[in-house]
Homo-oligomer: A and B are copies of this chain.
């Protein structure tokens, strides 16, 4: 399924669209830089469990990946986290310059909404559903969502004193887009309110578990597998879950959240939720 996502991402900007060459190259560079494609897989899994339109889910999956990619490009900028490497490759601004990186991020964010809106015409998804997905996407990716989480992270660099502040950052910086991915897949397939609620809970808990796991891997992970330096959080004096509650408690928390996430999906009465459950298990045991 990852291959389908990669192939579809590759054809995001057809050759006959007039796009300045540096902009085109810088967008493609980061889009095709690899990564787990976790969010796209969640969109597709949430659509699949409801036997929805998988062509539409594929485009929504690409939209989410564009939003995720834009957020990484902007986060890596010198004014933000100032990172030179991402997934083992030079970051966007190191290759194309800061101006191009800012614009590539802006363009990917904007184009994500095109892919979603086009689902009505291209895949016959009812316009009402497309509008709901668009509202969700701007809410979860915008000032109340992912960007809000990133801003809180920036503000918090002066020092977080409570776990609840860190949880806020993780929930918005990471969980929101994961929740959106699941809701989008569910909405494409016409999921009812009960199932959407289950997907939302699944996403919220899974996202938090994922981020805590990231915090853990930053301490105990293998640099070669991660494609980035470990212990960067400590060196940057970043406050993390292990910092607040210790490594062992953090591991227990990941397990607990993953279990609760799976329970929410199991209780919602999907015909075959196995793909969602597999993804949850994979994320918990991953080493990169």
Contacts and interface: CB of A to CB of B under 8 A. Distances in A.
Contact of A110 (B98, B103, B147): B147
Contacts of A138: 110-114, 117
Contacts of A112: 138
A154 B152 CA distance: 31
Nearest to A67: B110
A15 interface: no
A139 B77 CA distance: 26
A113 B143 CA distance: 12
A282 interface: no
The copy count of this chain in the complex is 2
Contacts of A70: 106
A98 to B, nearest CB: 4
A123 to B, nearest CB: 12
Interface string A113-132: 11011101100001110111
A270 interface: no
B114 A23 contact: no
Contacts of A147: 23, 103, 106-107, 110
B114 A154 contact: no
Contacts of A77: 102
Contacts of A107: 142-143, 147-148, 151
A97 interface: yes
A115 to B, nearest CB: 8
- Most B-side CB within 10 Å, residue of A77, A103, A138, A151: A151
A80 interface: yes
Interface of A: 13, 17-24, 27, 70, 74, 77, 79-80, 97-100, 102-103, 105-107, 109-114, 116-118, 120-121, 126-128, 130-132, 134-135, 137-139, 141-144, 147-148, 150-152, 154-155
6 contacts: A19-B151, A22-B154, A79-B102, A80-B102, A112-B138, A117-B138
Q: Shortest 6 CB-CB distances between A and B: which pairs? A: A79-B98, A127-B127, A110-B142, A114-B138, A23-B151, A107-B143
